[in-house]
Amino acid sequence: MHASAEPAITFDIAKNLGLTEEEFERIKEILGRTPNFTELSIFSVMWSEHCSYKNSITWLKTLPREGKRLLVEAGEENAGLVDIGDGLACAFKIESHNHPSAIEPYQGAATGVGGIHRDIFTMGARPIAALNSLRFGNPELPHTKRLVRGVVSGIGN
């Protein structure tokens, strides 16, 4: 057997995985030791904005969560469900695929749309419209142009 070629885990590695210094210290506290690369990678995914909404949760919590027409609270299940009268309901789902779309624009955007539809279907509803609010950087930069082309294609196809 060969000795592990795994790198010594430092904050720089954690930072490259998208973790803050505070998060890196918390991981070490939870484990009681420095994590190995696989463990650190798992934490970085689970604590990412995509999975945990660590940056946007503060704002999401300000949205209304109660009401006489609210049938299923968003976050309680896969999508929110609102009574619109006459025995009908409207399912709402919002998906953020910023990181996956930044890595691979077409596939990141396509899986984002797929996740929205999946969550609407699991509520027993059927999609009748899909709206996309896209935000990108400077439209003159080649990297931004590549992202826009890939994301728009991924959403549309």
Whether 117 maps to a domain, the answer reads yes
DSSP assignment of 4-60: P-PPPP-HHHHHHTT--HHHHHHHHHHHTS---HHHHHHHHHHTSHHHH-TTTHHHH
Q: Which residue has the higher pLDDT, 71 or 149?
A: 149
Whether 50 maps to a domain, the answer reads yes
pLDDT in tens, 1-11: 555 677 799 99
> What CATH number corresponds to the domain at position 76?
3.30.1330.10
pLDDT in tens, 49-67: 777 778 878 887 887 778 8
Whether 118 maps to a domain, the answer reads yes
26-33 mean pLDDT: 97
pLDDT in tens, 73-123: 666 667 888 999 999 999 988 887 777 888 899 999 999 899 899 989 988
Whether 4 maps to a domain, the answer reads no
Whether 144 maps to a domain, the answer reads yes
Give me the active site residues, please: 50, 97
Same domain (yes/no): 33, 110: no
Same domain (yes/no): 89, 144: yes
pLDDT at 81: 87
Number of domains in the chain: 2
Look up residue 142 and give its amino acid.
Answer: P
Same domain (yes/no): 69, 112: yes
Same domain (yes/no): 52, 81: no
Whether 3 maps to a domain, the answer reads no
pLDDT in tens, 37-52: 999 999 999 998 777 7
Give 83's strand partners.
Answer: 89
pLDDT at 58: 87
pLDDT at 3: 56
Q: Which residue has the higher pLDDT, 156 or 57?
A: 156
Domain that holds residue 132: 64-156
Same domain (yes/no): 83, 135: yes
Same domain (yes/no): 22, 97: no
Same domain (yes/no): 80, 140: yes
CA distance 120 to 125: 6
Q: What are the counts of helices (DSSP H) followed by strands (DSSP E) for the chain?
A: 8, 3
